[in-house]
Amino acid sequence: MFQIRIHGRGGQGVVSGAEMLSVAAFLEGRYAQAFPSFGSERMGAPVMAFCRIDDKEIRLREPVLEPDALIVQDQTLLHQVDLFNGLPPRGYILLNSTKSIDELGLGGFARGVQQYRLCTLPASELALKHVGRPVPNAALLGGFAAITGVITLASVLAAIRQKFPAAVAEKNVAAATEAFELAVKTKETIDA
């Protein structure tokens, strides 16, 4: 089973991101579960969503306590919420930021004992560029496909097309594709 935890703020598409991720896995014939950590509808509050992917039926219902991958949609959460709780060694961290890992003060994590596989992506900027709104979820999924290889880009794009109406979907597809290409370059570095 591969477990993903997505952190962000209300309004950033954290929940839809997890849902699309589960749809992508489903399209590859796998079982997937996605659910939010819930709160009343409120923009700006920290939110989390979870996704599990497996080749057999998923029975577990607890929140993702030991994520194999973290997706952080909002860098301002870095020092507010205990984001890395439960991440195992070599766990993936995909961060939405234009800054480098060192600029974010995370150099220690990347080079430390845990050997987290950290990757930053300017997902909000990509979204602004292609979609016109800084909702980074689709781009981050493209990045996720690249650095973890757990799902293919094609599945991500198909999931995006299922989720959004045609015109908006294609813009998100473009953002996700560019994110994928950017992330592919990082993958080799972090896998080493």
Residues interacting with other proteins, by CB under 8 A? Answer: 5, 7, 18-19, 22-23, 26-27, 31-38, 40, 46-48, 58-63, 65, 77, 80-82, 85-86
Contact 30, 147 (CB under 8 A): no
Structure token pair of residue 93: 């961290």
Q: Closer CB to other proteins, residue 166 or residue 192? A: 166
Smallest distance, Å, CB 147 to other proteins?
Answer: 23
Q: Closer CB to other proteins, residue 37 or residue 75? A: 37
Smallest distance, Å, CB 27 to other proteins?
Answer: 8
Q: Closer CB to other proteins, residue 34 or residue 123? A: 34
Closest by Cα among 96, 118, 100 to 109? 118
Q: Closer CB to other proteins, residue 49 or residue 139? A: 49
Contact 81, 62 (CB under 8 A): no
- How far is it, in rounded angstroms, from Cα 18 to Cα 122? 19
Smallest distance, Å, CB 102 to other proteins?
Answer: 25
Closest by Cα among 159, 3, 5 to 72? 5
Smallest distance, Å, CB 128 to other proteins?
Answer: 26
Q: How far from 28 is each of 21, 25, 47, CA to CA, in Å?
A: 11, 5, 27
